[in-house]
Structure 1
């Protein structure tokens, strides 16, 4: 099955935590990256099958927007990212994420 990457950027840690939690509970996805974009903006990236990533990102957006004083700034889903993008950007499975990889 084709793989995808989904990214959500939030304002504040509570929003990114709620989004990440909702994403892994809503779909068979693996968190492959978490980091600070700038200032109080944080992002989390997940990988999985396209349908699972779409479902997970939708749940993450809803959860991140429910956090008081937090906000979802932006999100994006990339179906079938090419190998050169996967190699350069931090969206690939790593040794840390591999034990949690969904199929």
Structure 2
């Protein structure tokens, strides 16, 4: 499993993942910027999922991830590109291996 700094607990497990999906790059850039400024999270990946859709993935403690996803969703919505948002507390290691 990759290193996650402050986004993992003492056992090295990721505490939470936050995802924001947008249509287009402007929305995901705005979202990722807002997410990283809103709370102590790590932007771990911007994933192009095809068809113009891009997902920003952050990790951190549950409260920080929730706050960052809210801020990122608002930012993406302001530019009209928010598709969806989601927080996954205590993600399974297999899920982490797929995306991080």
TM-score range, shorter chain: 0.7 to 0.9
- How many equivalent residue pairs? 88
Provide the secondary structure at the position in 1 that maps to 2:91: coil
- Listed as ranges, the matches of 1:16-55 within 5 Å are 16-55=28-67
Q: Structure 1 runs of 4+ off > 3 angstroms?
A: none
When the two structures are superposed, what TM-score results if normalisation uses the length of structure 1?
0.80
Displacement of 1:54 in angstroms is: 0.1
Displacement of 1:84 in angstroms is: 2.1
When the two structures are superposed, what TM-score results if normalisation uses the length of structure 2?
0.82
Q: Which residue of 1 aligns with 2:89?
A: 79
Displacement of 1:38 in angstroms is: 1.5
Bigger shift: 31-40 or 19-28?
31-40
Q: Which runs of 5+ in 2 are unaligned?
A: 1-8
Provide the secondary structure at the position in 1 that maps to 2:86: strand
The alignment yields a C-alpha RMSD, in angstroms, of 1.3
Q: Which residue of 1 aligns with 2:16?
A: 4
Q: Which residue of 2 aligns with 1:14?
A: 26
Displacement of 1:8 in angstroms is: 0.4
- Listed as ranges, the matches of 1:49-68 within 5 Å are 49-67=61-79
Displacement of 1:40 in angstroms is: 1.1
